[in-house]
A = this chain, B = another copy of it.
Amino acid sequence: MNRATIYSIAQELGISASTVSRAFTRPDLVRESVREQVLQTARRLGYQPNRSARGLATGRTGLVGVLVPDITNPFFPPLVRAIEQQAATHDSDVLLVDSGVNGTAESVLIGRLLSQVDGLILASPRARSATLKQAIAGTPTVVVNRAVQGLPTVVCDNTAALQQAGQHLVDAGHRRVALLCGPASAWAANRRARAVRTWASGADVELVEFGPLEAQFEDGQRAAEDVVASGATAVLAFDDLMACGVLAGLAELGRSVPGELSVVGCDDVLLARTLTPQLTTVTAPIEELGRRAVEVLGKVVDGEPVANVSLTGTLTLRGTTAPAL
């Protein structure tokens, strides 16, 4: 299928290729009637501009690289979709790469993306800050769900919501609360843990910590046993997936939720609502995070000044929390 080029269109109309090019990229420079003809012929021939050629000439590829640690974690699909849709409004497409939860591959993958994207969105990256900054080598980059000194950042601050969640548990009579910490290399995990610890130190409650655990179902499931052994009557899990694992683990152990134990998740992914009972959790504006990330990235690419974005999560009470016995 030898595709139409600006040259074939130009030849067809007896004009120069420059004019054809301009008819698309700088329509104001081309006489109305000519432009019409060009567009019409282009449509007839099924012309699609060659992105490689354009990229070579302009230095822009129209691609945004998106790096996620684990696309099967239900937090990321809505994020990716929001990014993709927002990018589409900038005529850009998404190059998706999954680094695996192990952060060591990130640098390599970032390197592979660098040469072919206008900018990068790093979602919950695990590598060390210095490593990241070295890897991106000056490419416009926005970090989502993590703060990296010196890089534009779009995060969701769950501190207040988590503390409300804790308070909600205390108000319900829970005096021994388990905290399931997320991956040590995950910024959000540390941040959430700190929020909870801060709250606990000032509340009438005993905090029992477990982890760090991976943000996976199985890790939560395995942790259930320890939670039960600890005598805690409530659980604050790093995220919904882990919370979901705990629920499953508790069920295996014959413990009822929210009857015997209460469980709180974080993020409010699809999973949280598919459970029965539905999961009490901290709702993050996931789509908004994605959109804002693209917005900020656009500014970085254009060399405009940018400010970090911090959205806030809100506590959503559902069915997995109840008064302690």
CB-CB under 8 A for A61 and B51, given A93-B113, A116-B93, A244-B274: yes
Q: Mark out the residues of chain A between 64 and 104 whose CB falls within 8 Å of any chain B CB in the assembled complex.
A: 71-72, 74, 76-78, 80-81, 84-85, 93-98
Tell me which residues across on chain B come within 8 A of A55, comparing CB atoms.
51-52, 55
Q: Tell me if A167 is interfacial: C-beta within 8 Å of chain B.
A: no
CB distance from A166 to the nearest CB of B (A): 25
Q: What separation, in Å, do the CA atoms of A56 and B52 have in the docked complex?
A: 5
One digit per residue, 1 when the CB lies within 8 angstroms of any chain B CB and 0 when it does not, for chain A 108-145 equals: 00011111100000000000000000000111000000
Q: Tell me if A230 is interfacial: C-beta within 8 Å of chain B.
A: no
Tell me which residues across on chain B come within 8 A of A114, comparing CB atoms.
48
Range class of the A interface residue count: 35 or more
Pairwise interchain contact A96-B84, C-beta atoms closer than 8 A: yes
Residue from A94, A98, A271, A274 having most chain B Cβ neighbours under 10 A: A274
Kindly report which residue of chain B lies nearest to residue A56, judged by CB atoms.
B52
Q: What separation, in Å, do the CA atoms of A112 and B51 have in the docked complex?
A: 10
Pairwise interchain contact B93-A273, C-beta atoms closer than 8 A: no
Q: Mark out the residues of chain A between 230 and 260 whose CB falls within 8 Å of any chain B CB in the assembled complex.
A: 241, 244-245, 247-248, 251
CB-CB under 8 A for A245 and B217, given A77-B77, A80-B71: no
Residue from A3, A51, A78, A98 having most chain B Cβ neighbours under 10 A: A51
Tell me which residues across on chain B come within 8 A of A270, comparing CB atoms.
72, 74, 217
Query: Chain A interface (Cβ within 8 Å of chain B)?
Result: 1, 3, 46, 48-56, 61-63, 71-72, 74, 76-78, 80-81, 84-85, 93-98, 111-116, 137-139, 217, 241, 244-245, 247-248, 251, 270-271, 273-278
Q: Can you list 12 contacts pairing A with B, beta carbon distance less than 8 Å? A: A48-B111, A48-B114, A48-B115, A50-B115, A55-B55, A62-B116, A72-B77, A74-B74, A80-B98, A93-B113, A96-B96, A271-B271
